[in-house]
């Protein structure tokens, strides 16, 4: 996980969010500005409607009222209205006035609904014969509160008016988008600084975790009369096999942690059994087997070590089900445990121990092949066999210091990768 990768990912995220929000703000700003411009036109049309239809007209008897409304709306057309129509409460047209040259508009309007508007009036915007029109609906209500009908005033928006509305909307949209982007530019350094601080804290925590894994692994190895090189070596072999087997980053971290701590349960095994130079009897071996469950309990009680339990609890299981402690078989054995088992057995065969000399590579591989489909996952063993040259050159033949460095590079690759910040 490199700082450059962190900053790159943080910047990409800030820009992606900023442009998304800016685009949304622009669309909303455009729509709001258009609606506001239309509302302004509607308010003007409403004022004009109320001016030409004084309340006194609405108090007249029905025949006289309709005649007076017909006269009144004639003054509406020719100015800001192209068409004016009066409808009765039951939806019957009782009067209309059309500005010269707009008869085709009036004819097309017949196809639109003319139902009673809301009590406070309203408007709609529509395309009629390729032209943008606003229809303003004004209810006609007498002094007694009776709805007599409603008046529709139709305004055809010309190109200049439409351009003004669009221009105002575009300006509002740009202002909204620019405002968001400016905020993003101001906040980006602060967010980046916060991301860097979080990165450094996370890196320090991960380094501490890896340090704890190493320290525990060395302590366990020394108690088992080992120098600790075995832990680094077998952890690296298992991790390389995990890489070749296609484990993802999270699985690799769990495998590495489990590899370091695979024998942590031996802390609870008596020295008389753990350090016995000869072969263990049946009772002693049963006690030794308890280190698997003890290890699972220890890892299960220590937060970040929980993910190591698959290896700790499963590395003595065998493909044919003859292992311990649960006698799991085949793919019921966790993948990380199956991988580690191969690495652990091969390293044990190739290592010098108080009770044996290291086996030659050919003999070790012969023993590994004998365990195919009995001790080992056959698919993983095939992958391992293709890697033996690399394992021999880079791990088996390396000094303890070189093996430690090799494993630290492996841990850095999987615990501190750019992908972890994605």
Taking CB atoms within 8 Å and a gap of at least 24, the contacts of 327-335 are 333/377, 334/310, 335/245, 335/247, 335/251, 335/310
Q: Which residue has the tokens 């016995």?
A: 276
Q: What percentage of the chain's residues is helix, strand, coil (to nearest 5)?
A: 65, 10, 25
Instruction: Compute and round to an integer the Cα radius of gyration of the chain.
Output: 42
Cα–Cα distances in angstroms (integers) from residue 98 to residues 85, 132, 220, 418, in the given order: 9, 17, 99, 71
Q: Is 372 helix (H, G, I), strand (E, B) or coil?
A: strand
Q: Region of 129 please: left (phi>0), alpha (psi -120 to 50) or beta.
A: left
Phi, psi dihedral angles at 294 (to 5 degrees): -60, -40
Residue 338: closest CA among 363, 359, 320: 320
Here the tokens at position 421 are: 């910040």
Q: How many CB atoms lie within 10 A of CB 72?
A: 20
φ, ψ dihedrals at 230, nearest 5°: -55, -45
Residues 1 and 422: beta-carbon distance below 8 Å: no
Contact yes or no for 312/295 (Cβ under 8 A): yes
Whole-angstrom CA distances from 368 to 263, 364, 380 are: 21, 6, 12
Tokens 């455009």 identify what position? 30
Q: Is residue 142 within 8 Å of residue 149, measured between CB atoms?
A: no
Q: How far is CA 360 from CA 129, 197, 364, 365, 374, in A?
A: 93, 51, 6, 9, 22
Contact by Cβ (8 Å): 420, 1: yes
Query: Which residues on adjacent β-strands are paired with residue 128?
Result: 131
The full length of the chain comes to 422
Residues 6 or more apart in contact with residue 211 via CB below 8 angstroms: none
- The span from the CA of 347 to the CA of 239, in Å, is 13
Q: Is 266 a catalytic residue?
A: yes
The two tokens of residue 164 are: 């003004």
Which residue in 71, 111, 266, 363 is the catalytic one? 266
Q: DSSP strand E in 223-365: where? A: none
- The catalytic site residues sit at 266
């Amino acid at each position: 996980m490199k700082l450059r990768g962190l900053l790159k990912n943080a910047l990409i995220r800030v820009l992606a969010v900023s442009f998304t929000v800016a685009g949304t703000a622009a669309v909303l700003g455009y729509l709001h500005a258009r609606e506001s411009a239309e509302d302004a036109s509607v308010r003007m049309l409403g004022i004009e409607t109320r001016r030409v239809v004084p309340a006194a007209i609405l108090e007249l008897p029905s025949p006289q009222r309709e005649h007076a409304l017909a006269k009144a709306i004639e003054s509406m057309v020719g100015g800001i209205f192209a068409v004016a129509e009066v409808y009765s409460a039951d939806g019957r047209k009782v009067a209309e006035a059309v500005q010269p040259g707009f008869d085709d508009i009036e004819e097309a309007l017949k196809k639109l609904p003319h139902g009673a508007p809301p009590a406070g009036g309203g408007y709609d915007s529509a395309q009629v014969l390729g032209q943008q029109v606003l229809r303003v609906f004004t209810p006609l209500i007498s002094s007694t509160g009776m709805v007599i009908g409603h008046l529709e005033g139709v305004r055809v928006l010309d190109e200049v008016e439409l351009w003004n509305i669009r221009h105002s909307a575009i300006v509002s949209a740009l202002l909204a988008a620019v405002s968001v982007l400016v905020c993003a530019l101001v906040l980006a350094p602060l967010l980046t600084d916060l991301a860097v601080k979080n990165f450094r804290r996370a890196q320090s925590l991960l380094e501490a975790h890896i340090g704890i894994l190493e320290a525990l692994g060395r302590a366990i190895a020394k108690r088992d009369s080992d120098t600790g090189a075995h832990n680094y070596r077998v952890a690296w072999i298992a991790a390389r096999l995990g890489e070749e087997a296609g484990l993802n980053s999270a699985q690799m971290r769990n495998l590495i942690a489990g590899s370091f701590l695979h024998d942590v349960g031996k802390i609870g095994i008596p020295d008389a059994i753990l350090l016995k130079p000869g072969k263990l009897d049946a009772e002693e071996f049963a006690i030794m087997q308890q280190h698997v469950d003890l290890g699972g309990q220890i890892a299960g009680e220590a937060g970040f070590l929980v993910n190591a339990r698959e290896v700790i609890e499963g590395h003595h299981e065998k493909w044919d089900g003859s292992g311990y402690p649960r006698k799991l078989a085949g793919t019921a054995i966790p993948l990380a445990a199956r991988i580690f088992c191969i690495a652990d057995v091969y390293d044990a065969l190739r290592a010098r121990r108080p009770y044996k000399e290291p086996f030659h590579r050919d003999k070790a591989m012969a023993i590994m092949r004998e365990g195919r489909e009995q001790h080992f996952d056959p698919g993983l063993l095939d992958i391992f066999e293709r890697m033996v040259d690399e394992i021999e050159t880079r791990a088996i033949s390396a000094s303890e210091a070189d093996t430690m460095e090799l494993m630290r590079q492996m841990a850095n690759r999987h615990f501190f990768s750019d992908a972890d910040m994605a």
